[in-house]
Amino acid sequence: MNLLIQLSYFAAAVLFIVGLKRMSSPVTARGGIVWAGAGMVVATLITFFWPGMQNYVWMTLALLIGGGLAWYTGKKVAMTDMPQMIAIYNGMGGGAAAAIAAVELLRGEFHAASFQVLAVIGGLIGSVAFSGSMVAFAKLQGLMKRSLLFPKQQLLNLLVFGGALVFALVLMGADHPGGFTILLFFVLALVFGVLMTLPIGGADMPVVISLYNALTGLAVAFEGFVLGNAAMIIAGTVVGSAGTLLTQLMAKAMNRSLSNVLFSGFGSVAGSSDEADPEGSMKEVDAADAAVMMAYADKVIIVPGYGMAVAQAQHKVWEFAQLLESRDVSVKFAIHPVAGRMPGHMNVLLAEAGVPYDKIYDLDEINNEFAQADVALVIGANDVVNPVARSNPDSPIYGMPILDVDRAKNVIVVKRGKGKGFSGVENALFFLDNTRMLYGDGQEVAGQLIAEVKQL
């Protein structure tokens, strides 16, 4: 039986790795999720045959309740709410790892002192990932203000984290850890996760979600060692390493260090009052004129952002793009790595609308083409197209790689109002001579553009 268990865990690990590899490409991502899901099914079912396993009724009940809720929410969640769903599910993984650590510490039956150390480390990381992800969920869901800053905040964070480390060291060296000590350790770890996430602005949420994903994976891997569970070790290691790489890529895409994301409070408040106002003025255009500009263009590049997700306009936008293509207009989609509220947010939305993968280009692939584009259509994007990132060293987003939308011959920006982006920085693109503002809900505006082109 032990051989069957180990072979099953090995098969599950292979399925996890193959699934993650296939998720690296939009073309095979759907299949990758199926492969990884099959691996999780194998790992879960074979656990019922683990020697000495008991409480089958509770295990089955937990699987039915958890699986049922996940299935229901996964089917019902709107695409605009996908970032917060990812945040809360990711947090649950960290919470589960922390719960395993708590149970093992209360039992106090470790085969080696190193396992006790790993249990404490996994409990600390998992707790931070859990509570931090819950705060990220609350912010994205609109249940909490985007940030909370107060005097000596970093000092308080340091004191709480220091307290958690002290109790962690106590637990690592105790023969039979006391319940009260364990409780204080987890309380401080959970509080630190909350305090660490509170000051982080919404503009940094893609990086934060990636970071907590990495922490959850590491916590699961550590607890896998404690339990002697190969599937948990491999799955946690794969998720942790992938999340770490993704976090680095997200931070690089914003030209910011991870420490700057976590401790600067960027994106939490509006831009500074002494920040220079962009020269020029916003010039409005109506849907009819915008439709004419694009219908008779040779090349149009569409840049989606979070505003498109909020308006759920992706289907109308793709319908409009197809209409332009029927008039022999070349249409491409340009995606910034941190557009939206989670990594790959725009790719998911466009895939849902049926946009072919070969029409979707990353920043590095498309930037050189904006100068040849007759029109760049920006729908709900803001900070990722702000040219001050190239030109103004005093701007908080200076140095951040952006989509070179301003270099197109004409720019049309679909926006609900005249407000600033999530980072609180005024967008100089809106004031350029070649830019026209088309105000309105993204889905309604796309519908108007479709109607106007059909009349030409």
- Residue at 50: amino acid letter: W
Distance set, CA 385 to CA 136, 208, 249, 400, 426 (Å): 24, 21, 18, 10, 11
Delimiting residues of CATH 3.40.50.1220 domain(s) in the chain: 287-455
* Predicted local distance difference test score (pLDDT) of residue 418: 67
- Residue at 41: amino acid letter: V
Distance CA 452, CA 447 (A): 9
Residue 265 pLDDT class (50, 70, 90 cuts):
low
> Is the pLDDT score of 258 beyond 80?
no
- Residue at 37: amino acid letter: G
> Is the pLDDT score of 358 beyond 80?
yes
* Predicted local distance difference test score (pLDDT) of residue 175: 81
* Predicted local distance difference test score (pLDDT) of residue 184: 95
Stated pTM of the model: 0.79
Distance CA 198, CA 192 (A): 10
* Predicted local distance difference test score (pLDDT) of residue 272: 44
* Predicted local distance difference test score (pLDDT) of residue 270: 43
R_g of the chain, CA atoms, integer Å: 25
> Is the pLDDT score of 354 beyond 50?
yes
The residue ranking higher by pLDDT, 211 or 342, is: 211
Q: What is the mean pLDDT of the chain?
A: 86
* Predicted local distance difference test score (pLDDT) of residue 414: 94
Q: Name the fold adopted by 287-455.
A: Rossmann fold (3.40.50)
Residue 273 pLDDT class (50, 70, 90 cuts):
very low
Q: Which of 186-200, 267-281, 288-302 has the lowest mean pLDDT?
A: 267-281
* Mean pLDDT of all residues in 7-31: 86
Hey, which residues are catalytic here? 383
* Mean pLDDT of all residues in 258-280: 57
Q: Of the spans 21-30, 204-213, 373-382, which averages the highest pLDDT? A: 373-382
The pLDDT tens digits for 89-101 are 989 999 999 999 9
Q: In what order do the strands lie in the sheet with 375-379?
A: 360-362, 330-335, 299-304, 375-379, 410-415, 435-439
Sign of the CA dihedral running 89, 93, 99, 102 = negative
Q: Is 8 helix (H, G, I), strand (E, B) or coil?
A: helix
* Mean pLDDT of all residues in 407-436: 83
* Mean pLDDT of all residues in 391-417: 88
* Helix (H) or strand (E) run with residue 100 in it: helix 82-107
Residue 195 pLDDT class (50, 70, 90 cuts):
very high
* Predicted local distance difference test score (pLDDT) of residue 146: 60
Contact (Cβ atoms closer than 8 angstroms) between residue 442 and residue 313: yes
DSSP at 79: G
The pLDDT tens digits for 24-67 are 777 788 899 999 999 999 988 988 888 878 888 999 999 999 99
Distance CA 283, CA 438 (A): 9
Q: Tokens at residue 63, please?
A: 């699987």
What does 368-392 look like in DSSP terms, one character per residue? GGGGG-SEEEEES--GGG-THHHH-
* Predicted local distance difference test score (pLDDT) of residue 170: 93
* Predicted local distance difference test score (pLDDT) of residue 194: 93
Classify residue 248 by burial, with Cβ atoms within 10 Å: 0-12, 13-18, 19+: middle
Contact (Cβ atoms closer than 8 angstroms) between residue 447 and residue 290: no
